[in-house]
Amino acid sequence: MPKHQVVVPVAGDLDLDSTPWLAGELLAAVASGARSVVVDMRDVSFCDCCALNVLRTSSESAHDFGVRFSIQGPLAPVVGRLFQITGADQELPVHDGT
């Protein structure tokens, strides 16, 4: 029986070096049969545009599979700023708190 929700915890810097790992983790979560995927970014200190693209692509894939996709915050200020500047804050639901 598939899980209702899969949480993908990420921490530290999300950048070009970590995007292959992130893409693999998110693909596995979306394909797991869960109804919801939550990316826990509370411990992410930095996120570049490569990692942001992985988040956006994964969100689109989740949508195609009928899976809800969201980000668990609060986001570090630099990460929140990237989301704001790029408009990702309008595309990717970010939920603060526990």
Q: What's the distance, Cα to Cα, between the start and end of the chain in Å?
A: 26
Q: What is the structure's pLDDT at 3?
A: 73
Helices and strands of the chain, counted as H and E runs: 4, 4
The pTM (predicted TM-score) of the whole model is: 0.92
Query: pLDDT, tens digit, for every residue of 47-89?
Result: 999 999 999 999 999 999 999 999 999 999 999 999 999 999 9
Query: HSE of 93 in the Cβ direction (CA atoms, 13 Å)?
Result: 10
